[in-house]
Structure 1
């Protein structure tokens, strides 16, 4: 079962949600319980300074959630997924990945979250003025390499996903395990937020150095790449090789390989791997197949490898996940 909700209604539920008393937090730190209609858990909002906010979310959804967002203005935002994740028609990011969003105009989108055992994420919201003042983007070289993160209000915003590295993981865990209170906590969390921003800026600058290697994709190329994605999904249990897939969609393998990464932010078979696990989660949640049957259906020949991959993505063994969903259905019957 899935729940579809408009973004305005989603935030209305949060405005009505219970706020924890301030004695459990500091003045700049507000915690809301996740709306009971959708799941259980919490979302913390921390205003570190003017133009720099931190959001920590930890929750478990009752059902697959689809959030419909209208066209809107968007600030710079970096989100790290420690568990769970989301996807939409333009991008996706899951466990041990991050999403980079620049400022500008965000189009109409449908965000999807699976009913995972747990979703844990840390987001950094940065107003454009703060970004400009802190990074001092006045030299021509810096402006060329980084101002794609600071789009004009009328231009579509920049979106990219990537894999969280070890330094990012350490900073994220330090945020979750912050040992301080009051002013010390605020300073500590601000330093960790800036550290994560710096690590992502390093990656953006590194990507900028390889712009000459990025292919220009014609509209027809993009259409063929989307067709390649559809072929992979249709043949989830027995996908073609990259060369065979390229021939099937009418591209050479180099264009398909690089173009797929540009369009979807990951390789073709990394995309397929995550899609297989998402499909497996849906089949296990339905409770009509055994773990072995699910593994074979989504294309995992080795059940132990499937279990390890599922556990890494969702934080629980597939057998335990199946039992928990069956128990939930039995209790709700």
Structure 2
């Protein structure tokens, strides 16, 4: 998938999320000779557990531990840190991209190593969902059924191994969970409802992405829709500094979201976001080669909220970071 890059909306939401005070409790802080690891429980119930994590180390550091048996499936949202976060579970290396989320289960008695790079602040939010709850969601999904079967056999499993991009809508729900000030029954009901909405949004997003990339998704496009898709393409080309969602483009140009995704890909050979990203990277390459702008200046020139957002997008598209391009004279 990987077509959506971090935009202004998500960057602001992440800053808002971690700018909140500890109204939901006091964080636990674990220190050693090279840094700190901080965890804050935002919600704890029978079916769900929500935790926020932060860590920073002065030297490269490998955290090692053995897992207990767990009744939870984990939803991990990677919100800040290195471009790729790596771990090892029983010797099997895993990679997790920044601004993406993953759904997985780790079997008990697994040897886990998490690799932290020095002087990088890692931030992530994890939502733990009881395994029994997932059974209720799996009734109408073959992918979920296969995922659950592995878990029922106490085997490690991942639902979306490549991860899914964190959308502004998903980030909004995380913010609502973080900012909830209700208490007692009302708090339980609200948090559960938001987590359910998040799960449904994730599964719907994954389904739409599969449909958009499936050969079976090709369908007839009317002349009117072709004209609208051409307008979308011209808008994208003329507004490289702007970031937008499929929903926003759909409303702006009066075209169905599904037709926008599948029709654009059918007409122009790639998705809207990937097309926009390629154009931004083409401009970035030109600036890296012909201008004396710093990486930070290029990032802001192209509309990215931060140099790290630009670097992640550049590496996703080009395979290496912009600094590496300049350093190795690959231009």
Please report the TM-score for the alignment, with normalisation by the length of structure 1. Answer: 0.48
Higher RCO by CA contacts (8 Å cutoff, separation 6 or greater): 2
